[in-house]
Amino acid sequence: MPRVSQDHLDARRQQILSGARVCFARYGYEGATVRRLEEATGLSRGAIFHHFRDKESLFLALAEDDAHRMADVVAREGLVQVMRDLLATKDGADWLGSRLELSRRLRTDPEFRARWAERSERLTEATRQRLLRQREAGNLRDDIDVGVLTSYLELVLEGLVSHLAMGLPADDLEPVLDLVESSVRRATATA
């Protein structure tokens, strides 16, 4: 039997994650049946579960993939940029659906919560590190602890996710994100 290249395996894994993201967003965790996952990915159950032990592992990998991408954006541009990207991207709805499903599972499934806790710290740490770098550069207010600012920005993100989940308008949220961003920046003296 010929060996499959790592590039091929990586591409197949990304194909599965992309299809699963759409499926979980559209149907939720419970509604994302194996048949629907097969349709969304264009692959057989054997191909899907060759890469992921079970549906929960697939969902966890998807959530982890999203968290890694968010952490990368946070490290370069900050958590407010993640929020701006969520508003700007056409595939934000798929990300939003996955994020909402993640929140539901965290609230209702203690075993999943424990598995996710090990992985979710990366985003919080990326936010904290970005804020520390901004403080060292003199761009961040220094009257509030970085841990408090990290929690504040994470809560704003969760609020934005809830806002979008309720189907409320998103057209006028850029000025709100400008306000959030300015609220963590160091005040500049005006002459």
Higher-pLDDT residue of 66, 139:
139
Tokens 């990326």, residue?
A: 126
147: Cα separation from own chain's centroid: 20
Kindly indicate the confidence band of residue 94, based on its pLDDT and cuts at 50, 70 and 90.
Answer: low
What is the pLDDT confidence band of residue 1, given thresholds at 50, 70 and 90? low
Q: Which residues does 102 contact at the CB level (< 8 Å), separation at least 6?
A: 63, 116
Give residue 137's Cα distance to chain centre.
27
Q: What is the mean pLDDT of the chain?
A: 86
Tell me what pLDDT residue 2 has.
62
Q: Which CATH architecture has domain 55-184?
A: Orthogonal Bundle (1.10)
Structure confidence at residue 149 (pLDDT): 96
Mean pLDDT score, 22-32? 87
Percent residues over pLDDT 70 in the chain: 92
Q: Is the pTM of this model over 0.85?
A: no
Instruction: Show the 3-state SS of 30-64.
Output: HHCCHHHHHHHHCCCHHHHHHHCCCHHHHHHHHHH
The answer on pLDDT for 157 being more than 80 is yes
Band of residue 49 on the pLDDT scale cut at 50, 70, 90: very high
pLDDT value, residue 48: 95
Task: Give the pLDDT of residue 158.
Answer: 86
Domain boundaries, the chain: 55-184
> d(Cα 115, Cα 109) in Å, to the nearest integer?
10
Question: So what's the pLDDT on residue 112?
Answer: 82
Q: Which of 40-54, 72-86, 95-109 has the lowest mean pLDDT?
A: 95-109
Residue 93 has pLDDT above 70, yes or no: no
